[in-house]
Amino acid sequence: MAENLLYYGDNLDILREHIKDESVDLIYLDPPFKSEQDYNVLFEEQNGTRSKAQIKAFEDSWRWDQESAMAYQEVVEGGGEVSRAMQAFKIMVGQSDMLAYLSMMAPRLLELKRVLKSTGSIYLHCDPTASHYLKLLMDAVFGGNIVNEIIWHYRKWPSGKYAFQRNHDVILFYARSRSQERTFNQLFMERAPSTLKRFGTSKIVSGYDEEGRRLPSRTEEEDSEGVRMDDVWDIGRVPPIKQFFPTQKPEALLERIIKASSNEGDVVLDPFCGCGTTVVVAQRLKRRWIGIDITHLAINLIKYRLQDAFGPEIVKEFEVIGEPVDLSGAKALAEEDPYQFQFWALGMVGARPVEEKKGADKGIDGRIYCHDEKNGKTKQIIIQVKSGNISSAQIRDLRGVLDRVQ
């Protein structure tokens, strides 16, 4: 089995069935925030500009139903602090959509604790929608072993007139245990301009005399590494023109987390892998990695990003688990989820799914763009995915679609 693993499937099932106890050094997760929005994958045109074509990746909405009630009951019956926390949430918010969301998160956090090494750390990315509940839940799971509440500060276009502009996310940094052996590599920031002007890059030494009076600051010849990094991080967001997901996080953010809480050769896990920023950065920093996502759309995107960043040879360094590898697997996927089968099939031939809209494009599931060297024009190959027997009528219909788009 390859050192790096990309799983297709429900992360709860993958964690329970495939990831061993205390086998992971660092976990970063950016789960759905319960924003009640749909999020789309964004595509580029051949010339590098952002396409209007989008396709829905996931719905960030949660409803209290029989499935969430069963998940809640499973956690409560497990006992312990997490059980008590979930019962308290039910008293506070009732059988609500928020309780459904927390019932989804609780068993996953318990599994993430199980797979994390005693020296490991977990970073949970959240926003104000549910961060206050998630912090209480993390306290229950990790025994209050919070290390930092990191503020990721960014700038964006102003919106709204009746509140302060919201320009930050919260990242909850917890340790698996209180062990002093927890992996942590101190990072440093540049000094403030006023400090640089006064002391340059020399090491600053200060202290007190025997009577407790503060001594004037002085410098030593040795250069300072800078100021120890604090818990407010100013890192710009990914510009919309460069996004694959609207929720995509910048590589600089993941680079900081991975450098601080892991070493080369360590295993980094992202159970909500999305567009693959975590695994791309982990690969660049020479960490082993495990990524999990529940859509073939995301799996195909991650494979594309890895090959785009590291070249086609990168496919030898990771294994995709959960995709069909034979005809019976393809049939099983088509029966289980026709849309995921469609995304998988399009990914097999390097095609881009079409946007979800009606009209002239009805009957087109994907496109491949290619360059005609003779006339210098960009041409497209039209793809329609079928999971069963194909009739002559369907071929005639596709021919009609081709005539309309030419």
pLDDT in tens, 53-93: 334 444 545 789 999 999 999 999 999 999 999 999 999 99
Residue 43 tokens read as 């595509």
Q: How crowded is the C-beta side of 49, counted as CA atoms within 13 Å?
A: 3
Domains of the chain: 4-187+230-323 (3.40.50.150), 193-223 (no CATH), 332-405 (no CATH)
Confidence at residue 217, expressed as pLDDT on a 0 to 100 scale:
60
Residue pair 71/83 in contact (Cβ under 8 Å)? The answer is: no
Q: Per DSSP, what are the bridge partners of residue 174? A: 122, 146
| CA 297 to each of CA 10, 46, 174, 224, 405: distance values in angstroms, whole numbers, following the listed order | 14, 19, 31, 47, 25
Per-residue model confidence (pLDDT) at position 57: 46
pLDDT at 198: 56
Residue 214 has a pLDDT of: 72
Longest dimension (CA), the chain: 97
Q: Whole-angstrom Cα distance, residue 383 to residue 395?
A: 12
Sites in the chain below the pLDDT cut of 50: 39-58, 60, 196-197, 357-361
Q: Which DSSP symbol is given to 38?
A: E
Q: Indicate the DSSP class of residue 240.
A: G
Structural contact between residues 173 and 123, judged by C-beta atoms closer than 8 angstroms: yes
pTM, entire model: 0.78
Burial of 228 (0-12, 13-18, 19+ CB in 10 A): exposed
Q: What is the spatial distance between Cα 303 and Cα 316, in angstroms, rounded to a whole number?
A: 12
